[in-house]
Amino acid sequence: MSVATPAELEAFRDSVRDWCRSHVPADWRTAQTGVGEDEHVAFQKDWFQELRQAGYAVPHWPAEWGGGLSVAEQIVLYQELAAHDAPRLVLAFVAIHHAASTLLAAGTDEQRARHLPAILEGEIWVQGFSEPEAGSDLASLRTTARRDGDHYVVNGQKLWSSGATHSDWCLLLARTDPGAPKRRGISYFLMDMRSAGVDVRPIRQATGEWHFAEIFLDDVAIPATQLVGTENDGWRVAQATLGAERGMTMLELAERLGHAGFRWLLDACCRPVAGGRPLDDPAVQERLAGFETEIQGLRALCRGLAERHETGAVGPADASIVKLYYSELLQRMTDFGAEVAGLPAQTELRKPASSGWESGAWVLDFIGSWEWTIPGGTSEIQRTIIAERGLGMPRGPER
């Protein structure tokens, strides 16, 4: 991976800008508001291919697999995509981050060769981790995988698998040794969602969307070649995946928050309401200044984490600190957006599909912000990790 000089970095920025000007569809927000699921999926897949052809879809992957941008270049790319209000890759998120990092860290050569190019072709992935009785206490999961010749037979139920209805493949955790201590009997599988016995049922959320889903697994046969790592070593492999969610994914999200989210917030503050613009109120100015400061802090944290990731110097709590910082900042910013945009914001209950976590439909954005403080390790779990692994506090009950 080359390290760009400042001049090269600026040249790269210019080329990204040029690309954005000619490729970001001007009307995508309008076109993606109120669209059906099929249209949304088609749009996401098309946009992914546009980015891929430019070399922007998986900049964080190694060069041999189609990535290879330095951290500095990735930051520039994410800044410009956000500044040009480009659609986000919401559907490919698990594939390009969690699936890829798992395959790169723990997959076999055959698994990488099978799946990484397929992800670039548009395969969608979903995470099959949580279960009704295994949320924060993920290691207590009960879905079982029993070895039978050259395959495993899987039975159980997964919950909160966002986007499962459109997914081709699933990152699945299942118990292979019911007798072992709970973290030592889990294995990590790649499961084809078209396998017989896989039943996906969408869950309606309070917002009226059907983003969450349950996955029921009834005697699903998974070839043994789709085991990642060794049998019963799935917990360790999963930590690598969750680490990716907590860590590297933040680089894009922090730049998105700084270059798009904050701008939407400023827009909301500049809209005239009875008695003037919110922006003219010193209390509003103070809040905005506070958010701007926190965003700069977040961006610095993310950059530091990404750089340490490259040199292998990531601390045990670093990724949790970033996730906690981002999620709670996002929640406060979207809450403020809902407040400052006033009554009209309360009835703006449609947001463009493919938009970021801060779309400007503030009430939905605020509700959506809980998708950061609850999944991927709740804020409570992050605090526990920071306390125990970061600060060396005594460990709580056995996890």
The residue ranges that bind another protein (CB under 8 A) are 133-137, 140, 159-160, 203-208, 212, 273-274, 283, 339-340, 342-344, 346-347, 349, 367, 370, 373-375, 378-380, 383-384, 396-399
Least gap, CB of 160 to another protein (angstroms): 5
Nearby residues of 376 by Cβ (< 8 Å), 6 or more positions away: 242, 245, 246, 323
Least gap, CB of 396 to another protein (angstroms): 7
* 51 vs 345 by CB, closer to another protein: 345
Distance CA 133, CA 127 (A): 16
* 149 vs 396 by CB, closer to another protein: 396
Instruction: Give me the catalytic one of 73, 131, 214, 245.
Output: 245
Least gap, CB of 137 to another protein (angstroms): 4
Nearby residues of 119 by Cβ (< 8 Å), 6 or more positions away: 58, 92, 95, 96, 99, 100, 125
Least gap, CB of 381 to another protein (angstroms): 10
* 192 vs 348 by CB, closer to another protein: 348
Least gap, CB of 397 to another protein (angstroms): 5
Distance CA 241, CA 222 (A): 20
To the nearest 10°, the Cα dihedral for 321, 327, 332, 333? 110
Q: Is 245 a catalytic residue?
A: yes
Least gap, CB of 327 to another protein (angstroms): 11
Task: Estimate to the nearest angstrom the gap between the alpha carbon of 147 and the chain centroid.
Answer: 32
Residue at token pair 């613009």? 277
Q: How many CB atoms lie within 10 A of CB 279?
A: 16
Q: Which of 129, 119, 123, 212 is nearest to 165 (CA)?
A: 212
* 62 vs 344 by CB, closer to another protein: 344
Q: Do β-strands 212-223 and 151-158 pair in parallel, antiparallel, or remain unpaired?
A: antiparallel
Q: How many CB atoms lie within 10 A of CB 43?
A: 19
* 16 vs 94 by CB, closer to another protein: 94
Instruction: Tell me the angle at which helices 71-83 and 6-23 cross, rounded to the nearest 10 degrees.
Output: 30
* 207 vs 293 by CB, closer to another protein: 207
Instruction: Tell me the angle at which helices 71-83 and 282-311 cross, rounded to the nearest 10 degrees.
Output: 150
Distance CA 185, CA 193 (A): 23
* 151 vs 211 by CB, closer to another protein: 211
Distance CA 340, CA 265 (A): 9
Q: How many CB atoms lie within 10 A of CB 147?
A: 13
Q: How many CB atoms lie within 10 A of CB 148?
A: 11
Distance CA 240, CA 185 (A): 17
Q: What is the DSSP string of 310-359?
A: HHT---TTHHHHHHHHHHHHHHHHHHHHHHHTHHHHHH----BTT--S--
Least gap, CB of 301 to another protein (angstroms): 22
* 204 vs 277 by CB, closer to another protein: 204
List the catalytic residues: 245
